[in-house]
Homo-oligomer: A and B are copies of this chain.
Amino acid sequence: MDQAAHGQLTDLSTDECWELITTTPVGRIAWTSPHGPVVVPVNFAVNGRAIKIRTTAYSSMVQEADGERVAFEVDRVDEPTRSGWSVLVRGRAEVRYGEPDDGTLPEPWPRGPRPATVVVDADEITGRWLNSPGQ
């Protein structure tokens, strides 16, 4: 094995990022509140170059992220080998109500109504792979 590659961080291509982001149902959305950044795990769907998230009508996400720049992160970590990957989507969030469920909406994991859809239009996607020091 290539010793030089141990614990190496490598950039992922845009295509690799979009491919990896569909392999996990839960990501994390971050926005900037008046009291600094907030990060919340959410389940989501990818629709073209947008991320769709469903939330409650009066959530902080709706109140603070609508029309603002946000970040959306997914990752997969393998603790025993200390390897993994992460993908970061950046773009503007838009809150929509009454989005038709045309198969592009995620099914919310928590109970209760989630009438608001937060759509993050990706204008940037980047990712990195950390390979195992033992590989």
Contact = CB atoms under 8 A, between A and B. Distances in A.
Interface string A34-59: 01111111010000000000000000
Interface in A49-91: 68-73, 75, 77, 79, 82, 84, 86, 88, 90
Copies in the complex: 2
A71 B37 contact: yes
The size class of the interface chain A forms with chain B is 35 or more
Contacts of A90: 35-38
Interface string A11-53: 0000000000000111010111001111111010000000000
Contacts of A25: 79
A8 interface: yes
A39 B39 contact: yes
A71 B30 contact: yes
